[in-house]
A and B are shown apart, each in its own frame.
Chain A
Amino acid sequence: QSVLTQPPSASGTPGQRVTISCSGSTSNIGSKNVNWYQQFPGTAPKLLIYNNNQRPSGVPDRFSGSRSGTSASLAISGLQSEDEADYYCAAWDVSLSGWVFGGGTKLTVL
């Protein structure tokens, strides 16, 4: 059971906008920044969003992040087939004194 809760799956059609949620508590998302990662099968994860809504260089602006209270969201607009991947959220947990991840969301592009 992951400390951060994500839906196990999400889907959308090309061009659509999809959002993936990440729910936590006051000891993590409620007080610390959230990062998002993208992972394709058989490869290492890649940082997609950091500090809630910042994109590393090279990440398309179709990807955006937000945080409100003890929840965070990743939004993907103009969905493309190459966005089909697993997505994970993460945050520092002050009670556990460690980083915690969501269980991951498998995004399918229909």
Chain B
Amino acid sequence: EVQLVESGGGLVQPGGSLRLSCAASGFTFSTSWMHWVRQAPGKGLMWVSHINSDGSDRIHAASVKGRFTISRDNAKNTLYLEMNGLRAEDTAVYYCVRGGPLGANWGQGTLVTVSS
């Protein structure tokens, strides 16, 4: 059974940092493209970033570029999202998502709240 388990969310002040993790199991993580997708409270879905299977290619949405960095450790079957310079508008549930196609599997999400 495919499992994606996010962790690392929480309350952070504006300008602060957080690192999200996603532990993957039940599939061959090292050959899968992975994504982060977020959903602000009561709002729709927004794609944040993706990374290819070996980590050599990564793309971030314009709204997070320069502040967020996606990475992965295939030896640990873990996906990461390093978030710096957090803003109130980054408040959302962040989902770890398997690609091939986008959304083949989703984690349960982790809530990030940016507030003073």
Contact = CB atoms under 8 A, between A and B. Distances in A.
Interface in B5-55: 35, 44-47, 50
A11 B104 CA distance: 27
A109 interface: no
B88 interface: no
Interface string A26-41: 0000000101010100
B103 A98 contact: no
Contacts of A24: none
A110 interface: no
B102 A35 contact: yes
A73 B116 CA distance: 42
Contact of B44 (A33, A51, A88, A98): A88
Contacts, number: 54
Interface residues of A, number: 23
Nearest to B96: A44
A103 B103 CA distance: 17
Interface of A: 2, 33, 35, 37, 39, 44-47, 50-51, 56, 88, 90, 96-104
B107 A44 contact: yes
Contacts of B46: 101
14 contacts: A35-B101, A44-B106, A45-B106, A47-B102, A47-B104, A56-B104, A90-B47, A90-B103, A96-B62, A97-B59, A98-B61, A101-B45, A101-B47, A102-B44
A96 B44 CA distance: 18
Nearest to B103: A47
A99 B109 CA distance: 19
A51 B102 CA distance: 10
Contacts of B47: 90, 98-101
A105 B102 CA distance: 19
Contacts of B45: 37, 39, 45, 88, 90, 101, 104
A101 B47 CA distance: 8
A37 B103 contact: yes
Contacts of A102: 44
